[in-house]
Amino acid sequence: MELPAIKNNSVEKQLILNELPLPKEALVVIDAAMGIMSFNDEAQEFLGFVLKHGHPFLMDHFIQKKDSGIIKDAINTTLSKGAVYNHISARVKTISGRYISMLFSTYPLYLDHKTIQGVVLSFKRFEDTLPDQKENITDLAINNRDLLEALPEGVFTINTKLQIASFNRTAEKITGYTRQEVLGRYCRDVFRSDLCELGCPLKDALKTGKAGTQQDIKIFKKKGGPQTILVNTGVLRDDHGLIVGAVETFRTLTREIKPSKSSKKPHAFSDIIGQSHVIKKLFKILPDIAASEANVFLTGESGTGKELFARAIHNNSSRARHPFVAVNCAALAETLLESELFGHEKSAFTGATKTKLGRFELVKRGTLFLDEIGELKPSLQIKLLRALEQREFERVGGTIPISLEARIISATNKNLSLALENGSFRKDFYYRLRTVPVIIPPLRKRKEDIPLLVNFFIRAFNVTFKKKVKRVEKAVMSLFLDYHWPGNVRELERTIEHAFVFVKGAVIPLDILPQLDGFSQKPVRDLAYNNKIHISCEKIVQALNKAEGKKKNAALLLGVSRTSLWRKMKAYDLSD
């Protein structure tokens, strides 16, 4: 709805309002001080003596108390932010004293292109809407406030400009923001997720018109604390099927273990869990690493949690309020990777139909995590080295230098010694990246952490699977402590998840675990693992006793296949 400019002469204002092609729609113009500037005949008919030029607009005199608050919020936000609200349902007291349902909308009234002079408040009888409209009203504010407030999940809606139009009580509780603080603000400024610029589920919903389900993202609450939430999104359409906004529902995920402030031996740093000696050493240096601005180079086997460490460094740094962006250098072709990192100008290459911002530009003052950095070709290593040294870069096909503000954290699961010797990985690039090298230990070298990790994953999957599992059997824990874990923490997590698919009670038994011997395609057979080939007769007997004679379970306890166990039993002349 576009309103014509309202001139200063009150007679002219009154005529213009009456001539608006809005049958049965009442209009009142309110200034920034909530004074009545003008109104049309329909408004006079509905409200009568309440409306007087220059007098305060006293909503509480004719709008039910429980509804007047949301109307006031909408008017104040329209005055301060220029936001538009459509179809806010409220009960209104007429001249005769009876209450009727009406639909309110607010529109900003501009003095010039930037200055908001007042608000145009429109309202009409609910009965005057078409029958199909009554059942499908697109309400960007609150259509049924009591219903939304009763929901146990956070709910908010946005308009097509990504400005927040409604915010329920649960959303206030989760984020720490009040409704008045967020209405009219861009949702990215409130939630501050690292996906806001690069993979916003609400943007996707507005763009595709499709709902998004069960996506977990990390946001920052009002006081700065991180919070993982699970979100679902959908679109809001008007009576003609056009998208006019989007809605998101969200709930918290309890997936973090925080050390007690009074604990002398904390077992967590951000999302990283452990109490082993090697992990404690990392916990001591990670705060200093996070506080610095130096480039960090993470090395460790696949599945050790290198991205988790990178996120922990970012979340505990001064850049925590800015995006964290991860790029898998092995997942993209070289040509695509350059465009992904630096962006490209329109017509820079075939298919470049418009200018695209790269990750270096989008991350701004955040942290860019380059995973699998060892897969980069030398030609791209040179370009990255130049960007790191000069702290600026150019888009593909561009000539204008762009400042590099991001911090770089890189990671690899490769031993780069051979690549450095044969020149496939440049030494100058390597030393520029590894200002602070951090080695992430494999799980087999931090087995004291396995019980903590198992309990952590059980709590996390209880939420996901809606189960009440308390622990694993002693035989299962014995197996976990003896197993070499070639897939590291990721393999342990998948093993627990597999068990949750089949577990029926409160305890995870041995017989529902996957066959761990073949769980990883590339087992890490170090010296400690090679020695396990020589399993003593005594150990086999102990395993068989624990497994009550079941070879499959005994094999799981010993960390070998059932066939290997059978061969060992035959060699030791052990009968069934």
* C-alpha of 483 from chain center: 34
pLDDT of residue 254: 47
Read off the DSSP letter of residue 141.
S
pLDDT for 202: 86
Ordered per-residue pLDDT tens for the chain, 576 residues: 434 334 343 333 333 343 333 446 788 888 888 888 888 777 877 776 667 777 888 887 778 877 788 888 888 888 887 777 777 778 887 666 777 778 888 888 776 666 788 888 888 776 544 444 443 434 444 444 555 666 677 889 898 888 898 888 889 989 999 988 888 888 888 998 866 766 688 887 888 787 776 666 778 888 877 787 878 888 887 766 778 888 888 887 644 434 333 333 446 777 788 889 999 999 999 999 999 889 999 999 989 999 999 999 998 888 888 888 888 887 777 667 888 888 888 888 877 788 888 888 888 888 999 998 988 888 889 989 998 888 898 888 888 888 888 999 999 988 888 888 888 899 999 999 989 999 999 999 999 999 999 999 999 898 888 889 999 999 899 989 988 898 899 999 999 999 998 999 899 998 888 877 544 333 333 333 333 446 777 788 888 887 778 887 787 777 777 777 877 787 777 765
pLDDT, residue 507, reads 93
pLDDT at 285: 92
Residues 6 or more apart from 305 whose CB is under 8 A from it? 272, 440, 488, 489, 490
Radius of gyration, CA atoms only, the chain: 31
Top-level CATH class of 10-133? Answer: alpha beta
Rounded distance between C-alpha atoms, residue 533 and residue 516, angstroms: 16
Question: Position 220: which residue type?
Answer: F
Pairing relationship of beta strands 99-110 and 116-125 according to DSSP bridges: antiparallel
Collapse the DSSP code of 209 into the 3-class scheme (helix H, G, I; strand E, B; otherwise coil) and give the result. Answer: coil
Can you tell me whether residue 37 is helix, strand or coil? strand
Under CATH, which number does the domain 268-441 receive? Answer: 3.40.50.300
List where CATH 3.40.50.300 sits in the chain.
268-441
Please check whether the domain covering 145-252 is classified as CATH 3.30.450.20. yes
pLDDT at 446: 93
CB 324 within 8 Å of CB 367: yes
Q: Boundaries of CATH 3.30.450.20 in the chain?
A: 10-133, 145-252
Report CA 389 to chain centroid distance, whole Å: 32
Q: What is the DSSP string of 52-92?
A: -TTSB--GGGTB-HHHHHHHHHHHHHHHHH---EEEEEEEE
DSSP type of residue 260:
P
Give start and end residues of each alpha helix (H) in 398-550.
Answer: 417-422, 427-433, 450-465, 474-482, 488-502, 527-530, 537-546
